[in-house]
Every structure is written in C-alpha cells, then in structure tokens.
C-alpha cells in the first residue's frame, strides 16, 4: 500500500520532471530563435553594407547532405582562407604615399555652391586622371557636399572599393574605411543628406551618381558608370565624366580581385587627390 508520504514524493518527482522537460524545450526554442535571428542579422549587414546597387544572392544552408552517413562522418578542419592574388594592371602605378584623414562631421555642410555656375572635379588616381562636370543646378546639395569633402581632402588616398561587371557596370569609390582587399562600402563623413535629381534619372556610360543605403542616406560614396546601366531612379546623378572614361573602362576590363562580377577591382585604384573648381 502506498503511503501518503510516498504519494507526495511521487507527485513532487513527477512535477520536477515536467518542469525539467519544459525547461529543456524552452532552451531548444531559444536556441532556434537565436539561430534565426543571427541569420537575419547577417543578411541585414550584408545587404546594408553594400551601399549601392546590390543584385547578388546569398547562399542558404539548405544544401547540406541529409543522409545519416554524411551526418555521422567526422568533421574535417576548415581550410585556411586564401587571399586572392592582386595582379598588375597596365597603366596603374603605385598610389601616392598617405592615408585617408577620416574626418567626420555631425551635419551636412552649409550651402556654398553657386547653382548658376559650372563646377568641375579632377580625380587624380594611380591609374590615370578622370575629369568630371558637376551639375550644381540639378543636384546642389550633392555638388556642395562633394566640393566640401574634396576641399577637406577627405577623398585623398581613399580606394575605389567595388567594381561590378555583370548587368551593372560601375566603379564605386569614396569610402575612407575601404582597403585594397578588406570589405568596404559602409564608411562615410558622419552626415547624410537627401536625394536629388531622381525624376527620370538614367545611368548611361559616363554618369556620376551617389551610392546609398536607402532613401536619404547619401554621404561620401559615389560611383562612376563606365557602360550603359539599367538602374531604378534611386541614385542621385550629379555629374558626367568628361575625360578619362577610358581609364575607368581599363580598370573594369581587368576585372575583380575575387574573379566574380562584383568585388574589389583587380587594380588597386586609389585617389592620390580629388579637387573641384568653379568654372
């Protein structure tokens, strides 16, 4: 016969076991939520870090072999990542010595450009000179910011960190945090400003436009279109290449460091200096 004390202990043990089971199930659920959250954050970082015109896809984890033998197989040590080998590109020399000054500002600079005047920019790169005409009438805030940053030598010694060669044909520059091989695309001057000149915007070869991470997020990054490109009118066009388009096309012809259609330029493109002038 089961005594009341034994019954009490049995009920207490069963209650403890139920609580332990619930705790275990809750731990599994938390782990699953954290895994999903981590994956979602990774996609956000990847999508937002590109700052411009991302069209690539990200691989998922659903390609794993589901056979029991594969799951039971011992894991192998991960291979050491290999650094792509940079090859010389004809016409590109060593960058001038120096490093980006990385200055930061809390607000967009005060307007100082004359919207009725013509402005030009000269990009002196280690691969050749590229000259631009800047449209202060249609994109006054953009030209004002670009001229301000150039005057602060903000672009000097920065690298063009992204080249796309499939579907979209642009060389992206203006990120002081980018290196020759490390990911770039997230650096900026500390302030952001609104989009301009988007109505009916197109991106034929020679267009100079702002890169962004969404509406109203313009900073310092911009791109040079070296071949007619179809893009939605989301990127402020603010100038045209007037000289040196062949320099950009030569950089593009050398391809990416990684060998794909979207990556770092094989050429270690660096601005020795960027200047603007009022005509």
> What are the boundaries of each domain within the chain?
1-48, 119-278
Please give the residue that has the higher pLDDT: either 74 or 48: 74
pLDDT, tens digit, for every residue of 226-275?
A: 999 999 999 999 999 999 999 999 999 999 999 999 999 999 999 999 99
As a whole number, mean pLDDT of residues 149-177 equals 97
Question: Tell me: the pLDDT tens digits for 1-20?
Answer: 556 666 667 777 777 677 76
Stronger pLDDT, 103 or 44, i.e. the higher one: 103
- Positive/negative CA dihedral, 208, 238, 185, 147: positive
CATH superfamily for domain 119-278: Cyclophilin-like (2.40.100.10)
pLDDT at position 88:
87
Percent of the chain clearing pLDDT 90 (strictly above)? 64
Query: In this model, does residue 102 exceed pLDDT 60?
Result: yes
pLDDT score recorded for residue 28: 57
Residue 14: the pLDDT is 73
């Amino acid at each position: 016969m089961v005594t009341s004390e034994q019954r009490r202990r049995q009920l207490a043990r069963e209650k403890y076991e139920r609580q332990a089971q619930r705790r275990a199930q809750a731990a599994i659920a938390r782990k699953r939520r954290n895994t999903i959250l981590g994956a979602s954050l990774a996609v956000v970082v990847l999508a937002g870090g590109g700052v411009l015109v991302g069209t690539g896809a990200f691989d998922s984890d659903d390609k794993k072999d589901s056979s029991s033998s594969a799951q039971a197989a011992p894991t192998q040590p991960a291979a050491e990542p290999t650094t792509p080998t940079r090859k010389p590109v004809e016409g590109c020399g060593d960058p001038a010595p120096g490093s980006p000054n990385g200055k930061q500002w809390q607000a967009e600079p005060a307007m100082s450009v004359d919207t009725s005047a013509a402005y030009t920019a000269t990009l002196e790169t280690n691969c050749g000179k590229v000259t631009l005409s800047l449209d202060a009438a249609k994109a006054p805030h953009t030209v004002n910011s670009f001229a301000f940053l150039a005057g602060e030598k903000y672009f000097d010694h920065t690298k063009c960190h992204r080249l796309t060669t499939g579907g979209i044909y642009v060389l992206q520059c203006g990120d002081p945090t980018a290196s020759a091989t490390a990911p770039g695309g997230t650096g900026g001057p500390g302030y952001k400003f609104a989009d301009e000149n988007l109505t009916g915007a197109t991106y034929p070869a020679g267009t100079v436009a702002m890169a962004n991470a969404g509406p109203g997020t313009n900073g310092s990054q911009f791109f040079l279109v070296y071949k007619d490109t179809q893009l939605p009118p989301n990127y402020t066009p603010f100038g045209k290449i007037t000289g040196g388009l062949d320099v950009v096309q030569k950089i593009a012809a050398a391809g990416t460091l990684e060998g794909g259609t979207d990556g770092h330029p094989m050429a270690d493109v660096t601005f020795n200096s960027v200047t603007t002038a009022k005509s």
